[in-house]
Amino acid sequence: MAGLRQKIIRGGLESLYFSGAYVALKPFAAGVGAILTLHHVRPPRRDRFQPNRLLEITPRFLTRVVKYLRRSKLDLVSLDEMHRRLSDRDFSRRFVCLTFDDGYRDTLQYAYPILKEAEVPFAVYVPTSFPDRLGELWWLVLEAAIARNDHISLHINGRNRTFDCATVAAKRALYEEIYWWLRRLPTEDELRSVIHYLAAFYQVDIAAFCDELCMSWPELAELAADPLVTIGAHTVNHQMLAKLPQKAVRSEMDLSRSIIEAGLSIRPEHLSYPVGDRTSAGPREFEIAAELGFKTAVTTRPGVLFPAHREHLTALPRISLNGEYQRLRYVRVLLSGSATAMWSGFRRLDAA
Ligand SMILES: [Zn+2]
């Protein structure tokens, strides 16, 4: 299914590009700017089973994207400057913001040197449990359990089931099935308890992912010292906020800001909702973020920015630089707004 979905998206991007439709649609769809979402930037791995590859691009592709953006008639701006332009209705030039979620060490190791050299401002949204080494990168626990075993047994919907995952194809299919089952569970507690079971039973060290992949506080401080870098909040525990009680949502947002302030002496004014799609952040979260005084908050709902987003600064869409689509022509189509306009039926605002 994932393969089919990717083919359809890729086909859509290709036909918008090669038909020239993205150029024709640009005046209507391109808006005033865009925010790009990135996760990992690191050299490619050879493994055939990489269900989370969509979350990583190569340093080489980032370099090409940055060169392309620098050549375009676009301003590369910080989140504060984006906020100013939206608030002041200063739309004389289109702009792009680069944002990195989760505070991976490769942001410092691979992305930062590229962006520093090109003097590109960027933001890093940090879930504080990651540098505190208490974070649970649960999607990697699932990946590791499936990668290292030929069978996985799980208690699903009241009964024990055993799944075969001996081949790469079976591993991919099983990852998709369990991942989306977990994502649809009504609470984060249920999701986490399945992950704790998998980790214990298949001997996957949850805590090791944080140590191995995420920046420590000193590493974050090194990045934060550069005026090109904005440190944003990404909650404490990286949970789907829409599945939490109201009080917990508030404290996840507010506490993460205080913990970052204590760790880095910077009080974040910008927020990214974990996971960020409509099952994870909705009107209640947008309102709480605004009440808490965040200047902006970003989702992962796909889209470019329009002047009307001025009234919805805590419900901003983004464009993902997806590892499955590492071609410059896809970036051109995505920044033209034509692809996301087609996906959303030409609706400019998606803040409900
Ligand atoms: Zn995240």
148-168 residue pLDDT tens = 999 999 988 888 999 999 999
Please, are residues 214 and 127 in contact by the beta-carbon 8 Å criterion? no
User: For residues 337 and 240, which has the higher predicted lDDT (pLDDT)?
Assistant: 240
Report the pLDDT value the prediction gives residue 1, as an integer from 0 to 100.
54
Percent of the chain past pLDDT 70, that is, above it, reads 98
User: Cα(231) to centroid of ligand 1, in Å?
Assistant: 14
User: What average pLDDT score do residues 202-215 get?
Assistant: 96
Flag whether pLDDT at 317 surpasses 90. yes
Mean pLDDT of all residues belonging to the chain: 92
Q: pLDDT for 222-238, tens place per residue?
A: 999 999 999 999 999 99
**Residue type at 296 in one-letter notation:** T
User: Cα(239) to centroid of ligand 1, in Å?
Assistant: 9
Report the pLDDT value the prediction gives residue 299, as an integer from 0 to 100.
97
Flag whether pLDDT at 346 surpasses 80. no
Report the pLDDT value the prediction gives residue 71, as an integer from 0 to 100.
92
Report the pLDDT value the prediction gives residue 352, as an integer from 0 to 100.
73
User: What average pLDDT score do residues 284-313 get?
Assistant: 96
Per DSSP, the three-state class of 136 is: coil
Q: pLDDT for 21-79, tens place per residue?
A: 777 767 767 789 999 999 999 999 888 999 998 899 999 999 999 999 999 989 999 99
Which residues, in sequence order, are bridge partners of residue 302?
Answer: 318
User: Cα(100) to centroid of ligand 1, in Å?
Assistant: 9
Report the pLDDT value the prediction gives residue 95, as an integer from 0 to 100.
95
Report the pLDDT value the prediction gives residue 59, as an integer from 0 to 100.
96
Percent of the chain past pLDDT 90, that is, above it, reads 77
CB-CB neighbours of 287 under 10 Å: 13
For ligand 1, a single-atom ion, which residues have Cβ within 5 Å?
Answer: 101-102, 274
User: Cα(232) to centroid of ligand 1, in Å?
Assistant: 12
Distance in angstroms (rounded) separating the CA atoms of residues 153 and 163: 6
Which ranges constitute the DSSP H helices of the chain?
2-18, 21-29, 59-71, 79-88, 105-106, 112-117, 138-148, 168-184, 188-201, 206-213, 217-224, 246-264, 283-291, 328-335, 338-343
CA distances from 156 to 52, 54, 160, 169, 182 (A): 23, 26, 6, 21, 10
Q: Please name the residue that has the structure tokens 């979350």.
A: 55
CA distances from 14 to 2, 30, 31 (A): 18, 18, 21
User: What average pLDDT score do residues 239-259 get?
Assistant: 97
Distance in angstroms (rounded) separating the CA atoms of residues 344 and 294: 26
Provide CB contacts within 8 A for 255, sequence distance 6+.
128, 236
User: Cα(83) to centroid of ligand 1, in Å?
Assistant: 21
Report the pLDDT value the prediction gives residue 178, as an integer from 0 to 100.
95
Report the pLDDT value the prediction gives residue 49, as an integer from 0 to 100.
94
Q: How confident is the model at residue 192 (pLDDT cuts 50, 70, 90)?
A: very high
Q: How confident is the model at residue 109 (pLDDT cuts 50, 70, 90)?
A: very high
User: Cα(211) to centroid of ligand 1, in Å?
Assistant: 16
Q: How confident is the model at residue 2 (pLDDT cuts 50, 70, 90)?
A: low
